[in-house]
Amino acid sequence: MEPSLSKAQRLRLPETLDLTFAGLLAASLLALRGRELVVEADGVRRVGAPCLQVIASACATWNVDAVSFRIVQPSNEFNETVSLLGINLGPQTHNEATS
């Protein structure tokens, strides 16, 4: 059974995911640990490796915790950077609408 997106917590990623945002992103994700989470990545235009490492770590953590973690509507820039860096976010990335 697919987890309900309506009862999940939501985290909207900013346009720029650079080194200066990595610590804040990690803290935000840590505060949401244990809850179903939908990460909205449609507005992302620049992505740095440190933030993608934080997101990949969160994917793994939520997987170990057996809690739903989904990245929805990733922008082309987000997907291209993930691919370029060879980071595996597993099945958590979805291109469907968030509503």
Rounded percentage of the chain residues whose pLDDT exceeds 90 = 80
Non-local (6+) Cβ contacts of 19 within 8 A are 48, 50, 51
Q: Collapse the DSSP code of 73 into the 3-class scheme (helix H, G, I; strand E, B; otherwise coil) and give the result.
A: coil
For residue 4, is it within any domain? no
Query: Closest by alpha carbon to 37, among 12, 1, 68?
Result: 68
pLDDT of the residue at 94: 64
Residue 3 lies in a domain: no
Average pLDDT of the chain to the nearest whole number: 89
Asked if residue 52 belongs to a domain, the reply is yes
What's the domain count of the chain? 1
pLDDT band at 96 (very low <50, low <70, confident <90, very high): low
* CATH for 43: 3.30.750.24
In-domain check, residue 63: yes
Tell me the per-residue pLDDT of 50-86, one tens digit each, with 9 for 90 and over.
Answer: 999 999 999 999 999 999 999 999 999 999 999 999 9
Residue 1 lies in a domain: no
Model confidence band, residue 30 (pLDDT cutoffs 50, 70, 90): very high
Predicted TM-score of the model (pTM): 0.85
37 lies in which domain range? 9-94
